[in-house]
Amino acid sequence: MSVTLAPASTIEPADDPIYLTDFVREMLRQTRALDSYGQWDGKTVAAILAGYVLSKEQKRAIPTIGDPDEVTLARVKAFHNAIAVLIEKECGQMAVPFVQITHEGFGRALITVGKLVVMDRTLRDVHRFGFDSLSKMKTEADKHLAVALEIIGKYPDVAGM
pLDDT at 56: 93
Q: What is the pTM of this model?
A: 0.88
Can you give the pLDDT of all 161 residues of the chain as single tens digits? 333 334 443 444 556 899 999 999 999 999 999 888 888 888 999 999 999 999 999 999 988 888 899 999 999 999 999 999 999 999 999 999 999 999 999 999 999 999 999 999 999 999 999 999 999 999 999 999 999 999 999 999 999 86
pLDDT at 32: 93
Q: How far is CA 64 from the centre of its chain?
A: 21
Q: Kindly tell me the sign of the dihedral angle through the C-alpha atoms of 85, 87, 91, 97.
A: negative
Q: Where are the domains of the chain?
A: 14-159
CA dihedral of 38, 41, 43, 46, whole degrees rounded to 10: 70
pLDDT at 65: 85
pLDDT at 160: 85
Domain 14-159 is classified in which CATH homologous superfamily?
Protein of unknown function DUF269 (1.10.3100.20)
